[in-house]
């Protein structure tokens, strides 16, 4: 199962390849710590394979057949979205999202003053 998962990258396909039901795989994860550790190592390998493929598609591109003036030709397409994900992941300071969240009111005051919050909690709820 672990070897098939390492090769195929999906639990369903790995189970099918070795004739094991998916629930059996998940039971093994719960019951056998060595199996769970081996599966975690395989999951890391698969993540690496996926990252390698994303890098290839973003940086080296893929060939796509097109018809130009009645002639079949191959053009190379690059995946800008994958490239942006890779940049965000590997260089967050430059390419990461800039969102920030503040949980304070005006001028840094409490969003809900403690006294008002306690009063609201004690107040009987209307039905």
pLDDT value, residue 103: 73
pLDDT at 27 over 90: yes
Burial (CB count <10 Å: 0-12, 13-18, 19+), residue 28: middle
Rounded Cα distance between 48 and 32, Å, is 25
Number of domains in the chain: 1
More confident call, 44 vs 121: 44
Q: Has residue 43 been placed in a domain?
A: yes
Q: Has residue 105 been placed in a domain?
A: no
Q: Has residue 33 been placed in a domain?
A: yes
Domain that holds residue 8: 2-92
Q: Has residue 118 been placed in a domain?
A: no
Q: Has residue 123 been placed in a domain?
A: no
pLDDT at 24 over 90: yes
Sign of the dihedral defined by the CA atoms of residues 87, 93, 94, 98, in that order: positive
Task: Please report, for the chain, how many H helices and E strands are present, in that order.
Answer: 7, 2
Q: Has residue 107 been placed in a domain?
A: no
* Average of per-residue pLDDT across 14-38: 96
Angle at 78 between CA 9 and CA 47, to 5 degrees: 20
Q: Has residue 25 been placed in a domain?
A: yes
How does pLDDT run across 71-117, given as a tens digit for each residue?
Answer: 999 999 999 998 888 888 888 888 888 776 667 777 777 777 778 77
User: Rounded to whole angstroms, what are the CA distances from 56 to 2, 42, 52, 63, 105?
Assistant: 25, 21, 6, 12, 47
């Amino acid at each position: 199962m672990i070897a098939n998962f390492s090769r195929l990258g999906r639990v369903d396909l790995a189970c099918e390849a070795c004739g094991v039901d998916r629930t059996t795989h998940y039971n093994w994860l719960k019951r056998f710590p060595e199996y769970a550790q081996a599966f975690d190592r395989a999951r890391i390998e698969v993540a690496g394979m996926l990252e390698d493929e994303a890098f290839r598609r973003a940086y080296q591109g893929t060939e796509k057949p097109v018809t130009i003036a009645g002639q079949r030709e191959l053009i190379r397409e690059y995946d800008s979205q994958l490239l942006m994900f890779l940049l965000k992941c590997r260089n967050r300071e430059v390419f990461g999202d800039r969102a920030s969240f503040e949980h304070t009111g005006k001028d840094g005051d409490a969003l809900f003053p403690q006294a008002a919050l306690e009063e609201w909690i004690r107040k009987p709820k209307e039905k």
